[in-house]
């Protein structure tokens, strides 16, 4: 009997880790940069009360602020990446906490700037913005002036800034519980091999052809949340209360409006998504019925919804092979794109494999002065790892193009457009794999199955999450208690809506909402669904129209944060203010379901 344990960080080869020396050489250098920056931040005082004094003073104050911001982002990025390598490492956790504290102090010291900018006479501020030397700052200043009705006095803004670290408490508590304190036990497969269950391999277990292994992994995983359900429910409740507090203080009608405001995102975009998906569950129900029939089940449980229906395909792909597959599938974006991406993925951008204490999931992260780093928990035998790699590579290439095309102040793109760049890559990967295996019906069926499950998870499931966020925040904002019982009841109602009677809802599945890290960055998840919808439309354009559509898409990646997200997407070729892209995505999903069932029947199953 073999026991597979998750390795310690020191057991991972250096070549399989990200190379943070490109950002900061080591922890000692981080300490020196930290102390040097800390000694500079009181320089904000020299600009307090003077921002409207002259154009020169105004420009100098903004340049000072941007330089400080750029430096603290370097410190924060290095510290959070180091901490995510092992959430149990107290030294790197302290680095992270110190960087957050420094961020908070800088926010406090600079909190006078926005109110002072908004207090400058309209004629004067217009003359400042029209000056050629302020060209790069214009859009930045337009956004600040737009926030004028939601900005407080200088004294109140300082107090709000001082609360920044405290406001992170629910998120930090959840993160420590979820990544450092929770354990999920050992799972034995049908051959007696034992593997430690973790966030990183949970989805792999759900794809195991042995239903008993899937069932055991599902209930064992959720038992850990059940054991802490009251505590985790309390962290979610207080995260929502934090959001509600900031919305009220800033004179927004609710938390969602406050969250969408910075992107200049109409609430109808959010509502269009939910209403369109809610009213088009028929293709999903059809697929779930087919899945139940194909797997020959009396009842379809959640732990039956990820296992490949084409179960006798032994997928395996090393990390290096996955990189090569990504390069080939993204060929429609041109040689420059794929060459830059390949170099980064093989040489220092990526922390590839799971180790004890490592943050779960995956992300792309970095700053203006760093490579666009990627955290993975790559599994050779899980096709989702290939998709995760190309997804995060989409984010990283977006960051690469953005910071090379835009000045620092305009380089930071919004999450709304970020999710387009990542899911666009996934869409091209699926198209490439389906063409690659066009003469292999079994692999065709396997890839179609995976693509359907991905859209289901991204479009339907993330929209359900988005509706949960709205409903759970509304409860808090109506001054009603958001208890564990209420949370589970609301989530159960949504499960019944989005899955109908097509899936048996086990009691512990109502705890799913307690394990979603994105709920601590409120009203984020809807962007996955809108991003996928936009990505499907743009991928169609690139593949069908060729060079003009490709150039428009690459131009979109280079925009960074120089426009509002809806305007950037219009430049790329899609209008997300209309429900049409979501409707097209659902139509695409429905066509994939029909194509899959047809191919599957040819296999003689």
In angstroms, the CA 367 to CA 449 distance is 37
Q: How far is CA 52 from the centre of its chain?
A: 39
In order of 171, 428, 529, the CA distances from 422 in angstroms are 24, 10, 12
Catalytic, 451? Answer no
Q: How many CB atoms lie within 10 A of CB 534?
A: 29
CB 563 within 8 A of CB 571: yes
Alpha helices, H only, 255-382: 255-261, 267-278, 282-294, 319-329, 335-346
Closest-CA residue to 461 (of 277, 595, 592): 277
Q: How many CB atoms lie within 10 A of CB 101?
A: 12
CA quadruple 389, 390, 395, 401: dihedral, nearest 10: 120
Can you state the angle between helices 565-572 and 547-557, rounded to 10 degrees?
Answer: 160
Residue whose structure tokens are 């911001």: 69
In angstroms, the CA 79 to CA 91 distance is 10
Can you state the angle between helices 484-499 and 229-249, rounded to 10 degrees?
Answer: 90
Q: Which of 392, 419, 451, 477 is catalytic?
A: 392
Closest-CA residue to 448 (of 383, 395, 509): 383
Closest-CA residue to 148 (of 177, 119, 184): 119
In angstroms, the CA 226 to CA 567 distance is 44
Q: How far is CA 3 from the centre of its chain?
A: 33
Positions annotated as catalytic residues are 392
């Amino acid at each position: 009997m073999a026991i597979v344990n998750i390795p310690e960080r020191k057991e991972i080869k250096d070549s399989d880790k990200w190379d943070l020396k490109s950002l900061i050489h080591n922890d000692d250098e981080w300490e020196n940069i930290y102390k040097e920056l800390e000694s500079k931040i009181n320089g904000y005082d020299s600009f307090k009360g003077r921002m409207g004094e002259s154009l020169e003073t105004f420009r100098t104050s903004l340049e000072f602020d941007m330089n400080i911001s750029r430096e603290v982002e370097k410190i924060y990025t290095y510290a959070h990446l180091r901490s995510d390598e092992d959430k149990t490492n107290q030294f790197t956790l302290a680095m992270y906490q110190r960087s957050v504290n420094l961020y908070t102090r800088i926010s406090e010291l600079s909190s006078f700037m926005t109110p002072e900018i908004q207090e400058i006479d309209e004629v004067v501020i217009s003359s400042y913005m029209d000056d050629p030397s302020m060209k790069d700052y214009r859009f930045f200043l337009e956004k600040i002036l737009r926030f004028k009705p939601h900005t407080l006095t200088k004294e109140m803004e300082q107090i709000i800034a001082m609360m920044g670290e405290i406001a992170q408490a629910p998120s930090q508590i959840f993160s420590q519980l979820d990544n450092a304190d929770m354990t999920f036990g050992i799972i034995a497969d049908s051959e007696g091999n034992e593997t430690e269950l973790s966030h990183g391999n949970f989805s792999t277990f759900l794809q195991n052809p042995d239903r008993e292994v899937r069932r055991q992994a599902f209930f064992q995983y959720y038992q850990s949340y059940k054991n802490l359900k009251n505590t985790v429910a309390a962290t979610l409740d207080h995260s929502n209360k934090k959001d509600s507090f900031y919305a009220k203080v800033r004179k927004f009608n609710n938390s969602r409006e406050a969250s969408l405001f910075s992107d200049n995102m109409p609430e109808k975009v959010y509502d269009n998504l939910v209403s369109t998906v809610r009213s088009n569950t028929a293709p999903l129900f059809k697929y779930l019925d087919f899945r139940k029939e194909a797997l020959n089940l009396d009842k379809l449980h959640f732990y039956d919804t990820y296992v490949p229906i084409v179960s006798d395909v032994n997928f395996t792909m090393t990390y290096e092979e996955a990189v090569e597959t990504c390069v080939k599938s993204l060929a429609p974006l041109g040689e420059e794109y794929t060459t830059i991406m390949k170099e980064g993925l093989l040489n220092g951008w990526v922390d590839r494999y799971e180790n004890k204490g490592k943050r779960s999931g995956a992300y792309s992260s970095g700053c203006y002065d760093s490579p666009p780093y990627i955290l993975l928990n790559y599994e050779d035998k899980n096709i989702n790892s290939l998709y995760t790699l190309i997804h995060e590579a989409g984010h990283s290439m977006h960051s690469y193009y953005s910071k090379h095309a835009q000045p620092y102040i305009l380089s930071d793109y919004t999450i709304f457009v970020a999710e387009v760049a990542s899911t666009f890559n996934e869409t091209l990967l699926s198209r490439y794999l389906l063409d690659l295996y066009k003469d292999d019906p079994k692999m065709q069926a396997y890839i179609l199955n995976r693509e359907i499950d991905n859209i289901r998870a991204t479009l339907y499931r993330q929209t359900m999450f988005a509706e949960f966020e709205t409903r759970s925040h509304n409860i808090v904002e109506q001054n009603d208690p958001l208890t564990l019982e209420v949370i589970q009841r609301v989530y159960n109602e949504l499960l019944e809506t989005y899955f109908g009677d097509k899936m048996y809802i086990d009691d512990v599945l109502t705890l799913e909402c307690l394990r979603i890290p994105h709920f601590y960055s409120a009203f984020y998840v809807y962007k996955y669904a809108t991003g996928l919808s936009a990505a499907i439309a743009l991928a169609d354009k690139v593949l069908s129209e060729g060079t003009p559509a490709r150039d428009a898409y690459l131009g979109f990646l280079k925009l960074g944060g120089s426009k509002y997200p809806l305007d950037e997407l219009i430049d790329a070729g899609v209008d997300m203010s209309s429900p049409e892209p979501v409707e097209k995505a659902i139509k695409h999903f429905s066509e994939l379901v029909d194509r899959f069932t047809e191919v599957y029947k040819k296999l003689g199953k």
